[in-house]
Amino acid sequence: MTNPDKLDNMTTAGFRFFAFRNIPDQDIEQNWGDFFRIFKTFEPIDIIVEKEKYHLRANQMIFVGPGRFIDLSNLRVGRGYLLCFTAAFYERSLEDTATIHSPLFFGERPVLYYDSCFGEQVFNQQITIRLGRARMQGDYIFDLVAHHCVESLLLDVYHEVSAGDQMPQPKHTTDIGLVNHFSMLIHKHCREYTAVQFYADQLHVTARKLTDICLAMTGKTAKSMILSVLLQQAVRYIKHTNLSISQISYEMGFNDESNFRNFVKRQTGHIPRALRES
């Protein structure tokens, strides 16, 4: 069985996989603000997220979204793995987008998940050893396998966490928490609602405050964030499905195909058909 202490770190653009005891010093310090993070433990360990301590038991996972500070300094005393990935690395379908922009990563608190059947030996067989073999086959194969490994860790937990389809609405929340919640709501509702006011009402803030916080945290207005996600989903339909442009415009919530074509051209500089052929 692969020993976590002797595992070589595996990284590629937008993906990192480390044994706790092998996390490099520079990675301990920089904390990867744009990465989604999954911690998998093989023995009890304490992890501090946003100054709050979480006690993880053996064979437990914790899911932490981007923008949340994690104190990684004590991880080297424990046995387990840290798997990190960006949205750009993972999002290859609308289902991928829905999975990561969900309460799994954007809830008020990190999700702790315990699976006694997914112990060290099984984890090494299904994740660690597969990644090691794929790395020897080149970057393209490694990226495909890494994506599948992440997906296998996420799906069961995602469906369980999302079963109630509800998200707690805290009375007091940090700005990053508000933006995270906004992002999740956009991915869920952007086809039906593109007005900032709808999301502001859901978040119990004014539209002006939501825009100001988004500008401060991301450099983008609330409206531009909504349109960006809408465009992202539209482009995936255009490039990765066989639906007609008319069907896609309907799926994306446009009541007129010409409005959809104009929207895509305004945002990308290209008409939908040109994007499909590129």
Q: Which residue has the tokens 């495909």?
A: 144
Provide DSSP, 15-32.
Answer: EEEEEGGG--HHHHHH--
Bridge partners of 60, per DSSP, are 114
Q: Is the pTM of this model over 0.75?
A: no
Which pLDDT score, from 0 to 100, does residue 173 have?
A: 44
Q: According to the model, what pLDDT value does residue 26 have?
A: 60
Note the pLDDT of residue 33.
64
Nearest to 82 by CA among 162, 150, 130: 150
Token representation of residue 111: 């999700």
Mean pLDDT (10-residue bins), the chain, 278 residues = 54 88 65 80 87 87 84 80 89 81 78 76 88 89 93 82 50 65 85 94 93 84 92 86 91 92 93 88
Q: State the amino acid at position 179 in one-letter form.
A: V
Residue range 205-222, pLDDT digits in tens: 999 999 998 888 778 899
Q: Which single residue is written with the structure tokens 């940090």?
A: 174
* pLDDT at residue 71, rounded to an integer: 81
Q: What pLDDT is attached to residue 28?
A: 53
